[in-house]
Amino acid sequence: MSVVKKRRKDLTIFQKLYIPEIVKGMLLTFKHLFGPKFTRQYPEVRYEQPDSYRGRPVLVQENGKERCVACGLCSRVCPALAIEVQAVETEDEKERYPNLFEINMLRCIFCGFCEEVCPEEAIIMSKDYELTFTKYEDAIFGKDKLLVPVESLKGRIEFLRKYR
Amino acid sequence: MPIVTINDQKFEFDSGETIIQVAERNGIDIPHYCWHPRLSVSGNCRMCLVEVEKMPKLVIACSTLAMDGMVVHVNSLKAIAGREHVMEFLLINHPLDCPICDEAGECKLQDYAYAHGTGESRFIEQKNQKPKRVKLGPYVMFDAERCIACSLCIRFSAEIAKEDQFTFVQRGDRVTIETFPGKEFDNPYSLNVVDICPVGALTNRDFRFKARVWDMSDTKSICPGCSRGCNIDIWVRNNEILRLTPRFNEAVNDYWMCDHGRINCFKFVNADDRIDSPMIKKAGTHVSSVGWDEAISKTVSTIKRFKSDEIAVIGSPFAIVEDNYLLAKFARQVLHTKNIDFIKHINPADQDDILIREDKTPNSLGAKLAGISPRNGGLNFEQIMEGIKGKKIRCLILIEDDVAAISQDFLDSLSNLDSFIVFATNNNKSTELADIIFPSATYAEKNGTFVNFQGRIQRIRPAVMTIDLDRSLDAMSLSRLDKFGTEFDRWGKARKINARSTWRIILQIANSFSMKFNYETSEDIFLEISQTIKEFDGLDYELIGELGIQLKSYQLVEEPILV
Ligand code: SF4
Ligand code: SF4
Ligand code: SF4
Ligand code: SF4
* Residues A79-111 pLDDT 10s: 999 999 999 999 988 999 999 999 999 999 999
Whole-number Å distance, alpha carbon B154 to ligand 3 midpoint, is 8
Q: Other CB atoms closer than 10 Å to residue B75's CB: what's the count?
A: 14
Residue of A nearest to B96 (CA): A119
The burial class, CB within 10 Å (0-12 / 13-18 / 19+), for B544 is: middle
CB atoms within 10 A of CB B196: 18
Q: Is the CB of A120 under 6 A from ligand 2?
A: yes
* Structural element, H or E, at residue B559: none
Alpha-carbon distance of B302 to B316, in angstroms, equals 22
Contact B99 A136 (CB under 8 A): no
Ordered domains of chain B (ranges, CATH):
3-91 (3.10.20.740), 98-103+122-270 (3.30.70.20), 279-442+498-543 (3.40.50.740)
Can you say how many angstroms the Cα of residue B392 is from the centroid of all Cα atoms in its chain? 41
Most A-contacting residue of B135, B209, B212 (CB-CB within 10 A), to test interface: B209
DSSP H or E segment with residue B281:
strand B279-281
Q: Are strands B217-222 and B231-237 parallel, antiparallel or unpaired?
A: antiparallel
Question: What is the distance, to the nearest Å, from the Cα of residue B529 to the centroid of all Cα atoms in its chain?
Answer: 25
Chain A CB contacts of B478 below 8 Å: none
Q: For chain B, say whether A80 makes contact (Cβ under 8 Å).
A: no
CB of A60 closer than 6 A to ligand 2? no
Ligand 1, CB cutoff 6 Å, lining residues: A 57, 78, 80, 82-83, 103, 108-114
Residue B500: DSSP 8-state? B
Q: Is the peptide bond before A43 cis (omega within 30 degrees of 0)?
A: yes
The answer to whether the CB atoms of B133 and A95 lie below 8 A apart is yes
B285 CB burial (10 A radius; 0-12, 13-18, 19+): exposed
Q: Region A51-71: what's the mean pLDDT? A: 95
State pLDDT tens for residues B334-364.
999 999 999 999 999 999 999 999 999 999 9
Quote the CA–CA distance of B378 and A97 in Å, as a whole number: 61
Cα dihedral angle (B26, B32, B33, B38), rounded to 10 degrees? -30
SS3 B167: strand
* A88 close contact with B: CB closer than 8 A: yes
3-state secondary structure at position A113? helix
Atom number of ligand 3 nearest to Cα B168 = 5
Tell me B331's DSSP state. I
Contact residues for B541 (Cβ-Cβ < 8 A; gap 6+): B447, B449, B459, B523, B526
Q: Which residues of B have a CB under 8 Å from any CB of A?
A: 98-100, 104, 132-133, 208-210, 212, 214-215, 480-481, 484-485, 488-491
In chain B, which stretches have pLDDT less than 70? 284, 553-563
Q: Pick from B155, B202, B203 the residue to mutate for probing ligand 3's pocket: most ligand atoms within 8 Å of its CB.
A: B202
Please tell me the predicted confidence (pLDDT) of residue B561: 43
In this complex, is the C-beta atom of A104 within 8 Å of any C-beta atom belonging to chain B? yes
The dihedral built from the CA positions of residue B197, B202, B208 and B212, taken in this order, carries a sign that is: positive
Considering every ligand atom shown, identify the ligand nearest to the alpha carbon of residue A114 and give its number.
1
Q: Whose CA is nearest to atom 8 of ligand 1?
A: A78
The candidate with the shortest Cα–Cα distance to B215, out of B485, B447, B487, is B485
Backbone angles phi, psi at B52, to 5 degrees: -115, 125
For ligand 3, atom 6, name the residue with the nearest CA.
B147
Asked if A76 and B132 come within 8 Å (Cβ–Cβ), the reply is: no
Is B403 strand, coil or helix? helix
Q: Which ligand is nearest to the CA of A118?
A: 2
| A140 and B CB contact within 8 Å | yes
Ligand 2: residue of A60, A69, A108 to mutate (most ligand atoms within 8 A of CB) is A69
Angle, CA B35 vertex, CA B32 and CA B38 arms, to 5°: 140
Q: Give the relative orientation of helices B321-330 and B522-532 as an angle to the nearest 10 degrees.
A: 70
User: For residue A5, what pLDDT is reported?
Assistant: 65
Note whether B517 and B510 are within 8 A (CB): yes
- B72: nearest Cα among B3, B5, B2, B1: B5
| pLDDT at site B554 | 62
Give the model's pLDDT for residue B563. 40
Pairing relationship of beta strands B59-60 and B71-73 according to DSSP bridges? unpaired
Q: Which atom belonging to ligand 2 lies closest to the Cα atom of A117?
A: 1
Q: Are A156 and A126 in contact (CB under 8 A)?
A: yes
Report which residue type is found at B227. S
Asked whether the beta carbons of A149 and A58 are under 8 A apart, the reply is no
Residue A122 has pLDDT above 80, yes or no: yes
Please tell me which of the candidates B104, B208, B489 has its beta carbon nearest to residue A89.
B208
CA distance B161 to chain A (A): 29
Its pTM stands at: 0.92
With contact defined as beta carbons under 8 Å apart, do B148 and B108 qualify?
no
Q: What is the ipTM of this complex?
A: 0.86
Q: Which residues of B touch A76 (CB under 8 A)?
A: 212, 214-215, 480
A92 alpha carbon – ligand 1 mean position (Å): 28
| Residue type for position B41 | V
Contact B356, B188 (CB under 8 A): yes
Please state, in angstroms and rounded to a whole number, the distance separating the CA atoms of residues B548 and B239. 26
Starting at the edge strand found earlier in the chain, the sheet holding B419-424 runs B287-289, B279-281, B436-439, B419-424, B395-399, B311-315, B340-342
Tell me which chain B residues have a C-beta less than 8 angstroms from the C-beta of A95.
100, 132-133
Kindly list the residues from chain A whose CB atom is less than 8 angstroms away from the CB atom of residue B482.
Answer: none
Measured N-to-C along each axis, helices B108-116 and B77-92 cross at an angle, to the nearest 10 degrees, of 130
Minimum-distance ligand 2 atom for the alpha carbon of A77: 1
**Which ligand 3 atom is the nearest neighbour of the CA of B154?**
4
Q: Does A70 touch chain B (CB under 8 A)?
A: yes
For A44, counting Cβ atoms within 10 Å of its Cβ (0-12 exposed, 13-18 middle, 19+ buried), the class is: exposed
A90 interaction partners in chain B (CB closer than 8 Å): none
Of A70, A76, A120, the CB nearest to B214: A76
Q: Which atom of ligand 1 is nearest to the CA of A77?
A: 7
Phi and psi at residue B301, to the nearest 5°: -65, -35
Question: What CA–CA distance (Å, rounded) separates B257 from B245?
Answer: 8
Which residue has its alpha carbon closest to ligand 4 atom 1?
A: B356
CB-CB under 8 Å, A72 with B489: no
Q: How many CB pairs under 8 A join A and B?
A: 41
Which stretches does DSSP call E strand in A8-159?
A: 57-62, 65-66, 83-89, 96-104, 123-125, 140-141, 147-149
Residues B426 and B484: their CA atoms lie apart, in Å, by 32
Is the CB of A69 inside a 6 Å radius of any atom of ligand 2?
yes
Cα dihedral across residues B333, B335, B336, B341: positive or negative: negative
CA distance B493 to chain A (A): 14
Side-chain-side CA neighbours of A144 within 13 Å: the count stands at 3
DSSP 8-state code for residue B163: -
Distance B471 CA to ligand 2 centre (A): 29
**Backbone dihedral angles phi then psi of residue A87, each to the nearest 5 degrees:** -85, 150
How high is the mean pLDDT of chain A? 91
Contact B99 A73 (CB under 8 A): yes
Which chain A residue has the Cα nearest residue B481? Answer: A81
Question: What is the residue with the minimal CA distance to atom 6 of ligand 1?
Answer: A114
Contact B98, B104 (CB under 8 A): yes
**What DSSP string describes B81-102?**
HHHHHHHHHHHHS--S-GGG-T
Domains present along chain A, CATH in parentheses: 57-163 (3.30.70.3270)
Whole-number Å distance between alpha carbons of A132 and A46: 17
